[in-house]
Amino acid sequence: MENKKIITYKDLDVYQRSYNACLLVMGQIIPKLPNIEKYDLKDQTSRSSKAIPRLIAEGFAKKHQKAGFQKYIDDAMSETNETQVSLCQCKDIYYGYIDANICANLIKEYEIIGKQLYRLRQAWEKFSNPPKTIY
């Protein structure tokens, strides 16, 4: 794997993956759920899948703050787990509406995203805030 310089949040593979997975959820899953789920499963799955890339971008803006960055990554991991559970529910409850293969592939993709977020958080723990100068 090639090491590339990370200049913006868009350079993070986990951001790109989560953004693309969100597009698939919004295009292939949400529209196919029945209207009875408009204020529940549709809404929650939509919100959680869209939150992940947003949280990564917000956290990246606070990359100079170890705790600030990690909080956003933790929140993104929570949203990733929520999205996975929602996709499992979509697949199991609405198997007549949802393409099971697309759903299964998305669940696997969110597993990868969760692992990437965890590794990103671990890597960030190695960094510390710059030493304070005492005058």
Nearest to 113 by CA among 42, 33, 22: 22
**Residue ranges in the chain modelled with pLDDT below 50:** 128-131, 133, 135
Tokens of 87: 């996709």
Q: What pLDDT does residue 105 have?
A: 98
Q: Evaluate whether 91 touches 98 at the Cβ level (below 8 Å).
A: yes
d(CA 35, CA 75) in angstroms, rounded, equals 29
- Plot region of 134 (φ>0 → left; ψ -120 to 50 → alpha; else → beta): beta
pTM above 0.85, yes or no: yes
Q: What pLDDT does residue 127 have?
A: 61
Task: Say which CATH superfamily domain 9-125 falls into.
Answer: 23S rRNA-intervening sequence (1.20.1440.60)
Q: Evaluate whether 98 touches 41 at the Cβ level (below 8 Å).
A: no
Domain ranges of the chain: 9-125
Q: What pLDDT does residue 65 have?
A: 84
Q: What pLDDT does residue 130 have?
A: 46
